[in-house]
Amino acid sequence: MIKVMVVDDSALMRKIITRILNSDNEIDVVMTARDGIDSLEKIIRQKPDVITLDVEMPRMDGVETLKRLRKQFPEIPVVMISSLTTENAELTLKCLELGAFDFVHKPSSKSIDMSIESVSDKIVDRVKKAFENKDKLSNVTPILIEDKTTLEKKELKTNLTKLVCIGISTGGPNALMKLIPRLPTDLSASILIVQHMPAGFTKAFSERLDKMSKLHIKEAEDGDKCIDGRVLIAPGDFHMKVRRQGIDLVVELNKGEKVNRHRPSADILFLSAAENFGRRTLGVIMTGMGNDGAEHLGDIRKAGGYTIAQDENSSVVYGMPRTAVELDNVDKVLPLKDIYREIIDFSEK
């Protein structure tokens, strides 16, 4: 039985989340807390296996609470519950930097009950996955950056030498914040990223990652050119693919059917890259649950491109990379710390 602590300043929300979690016969909500201070006092008496934590709370918000939880109880995974506002998106990303396992966003709705019930399956799923991957918490170590840091960036070129396509999910924001800032400003490649994340969060994430990197990073817009030194992140709820437009390679966004339960889907990106850029493409599949990207990563390989997967030890959830390896669609398996070097080497070949 997975013992869970629910932390939320709303008594109604605590009741609803408790009901959702207790409806699963593998989960037992053993205690609730009204804010961060309350949770830190109660957790000493009975340690839960997993904590769900509201982002926005009085007295002590989710960010400060998470800092203290990670310091005092680093072995307990935390799943953030966040409403979709610009401020909350930024706070949620801060929590992922600090080592939260994952987050579930509450859709906007006039009825709180209906809003949270609509993501009940996700809440149960994230809690179970957090428990299953407790031993991987060392892979979501805090990212220490100064919010006001601005790095010098070179002017964007107009050419495209190589294309790097990354598919990533659970554990992704933390992993990308360790990977992308290590890439040089003169990288001879454009990077396209499918990070499973709701609409609204991808823009905030792009802006945050841009502050940390020497590359030019933005949320992708329809028609954006793929050029060396540019990183484009698929917007939440849109598939991202590439197509030829004269001599250019451009991004195309669409709201087609979900693939592997996701929109954006890494498989959509990988297939289009294989068809339009072939052997000059590097496909990278990283930490995440499920199998998105595993199948069409193989198309990049078949087209003469190169493919790598993040290894199990450094992945928060070894789902997507595992499936790709099992399908024999991967040329090399690497720990997170070595992927940046492989990207640089590929761009220079």
Look at residue 114 and tell me whether its pLDDT is greater than 90: no
- Mean predicted confidence (pLDDT) in 245-261: 96
**In three state form, how does the secondary structure of 29-40 look?**
EEEEECCHHHHH
Kindly report the pTM of this predicted structure. Answer: 0.91
How high is the pLDDT of residue 112? 56
Residue of 39, 169, 213, 314 with catalytic role: 169
The yes-or-no answer on residue 345 being catalytic is no
Phi/psi of residue 279, each to 5°? Answer: -70, -15
Distance of CA 337 to the CA centre of its chain: 17
Count, residues in the chain: 349
pLDDT digits (tens, 9 = 90+) for 293-314: 999 999 999 999 999 999 999 9
In this prediction, residue 59 has a pLDDT band, given cuts at 50, 70 and 90, of confident
Q: Which residue has the higher pLDDT, 318 or 82?
A: 318
Q: Identify the weakest region by mean pLDDT among 104-108, 203-207, 249-253, 331-335.
A: 104-108
Residue of 105, 196, 262, 296 with catalytic role: 196
The yes-or-no answer on residue 248 being catalytic is no
Q: Percentage of the chain surpassing pLDDT 90?
A: 79
In this prediction, residue 148 has a pLDDT band, given cuts at 50, 70 and 90, of very low
How high is the pLDDT of residue 321? 99
Q: Identify the weakest region by mean pLDDT among 28-32, 80-84, 198-202, 228-232.
A: 80-84
Say how many CA atoms lie within 13 Å of 260 toward its Cβ.
22
In this prediction, residue 155 has a pLDDT band, given cuts at 50, 70 and 90, of confident
Distance of CA 204 to the CA centre of its chain: 12
**If residue 5 lies in a helix (H) or strand (E), which one and from where to where?**
strand 2-7
Domains of the chain listed by start with CATH number: 2-140 (3.40.50.2300), 163-348 (3.40.50.180)
DSSP secondary structure letter of residue 288? B
How many Å apart are CA 194 and CA 197, to the nearest integer?
Answer: 9
With tokens 């179970």, the residue in question is 128
How many Å apart are CA 286 and CA 337, to the nearest integer?
Answer: 12
Closest by CA to 165, choosing from 136, 193, 123, 133, is: 193
- Mean predicted confidence (pLDDT) in 37-54: 94
Contact between 306 and 345 under an 8 Å Cβ cutoff? The reply is: no
The yes-or-no answer on residue 239 being catalytic is no
How many Å apart are CA 256 and CA 248, to the nearest integer?
Answer: 24
How high is the pLDDT of residue 301? 98
How many Å apart are CA 199 and CA 90, to the nearest integer?
Answer: 13
- Mean predicted confidence (pLDDT) in 199-216: 93
Residue of 224, 267, 292, 311 with catalytic role: 292
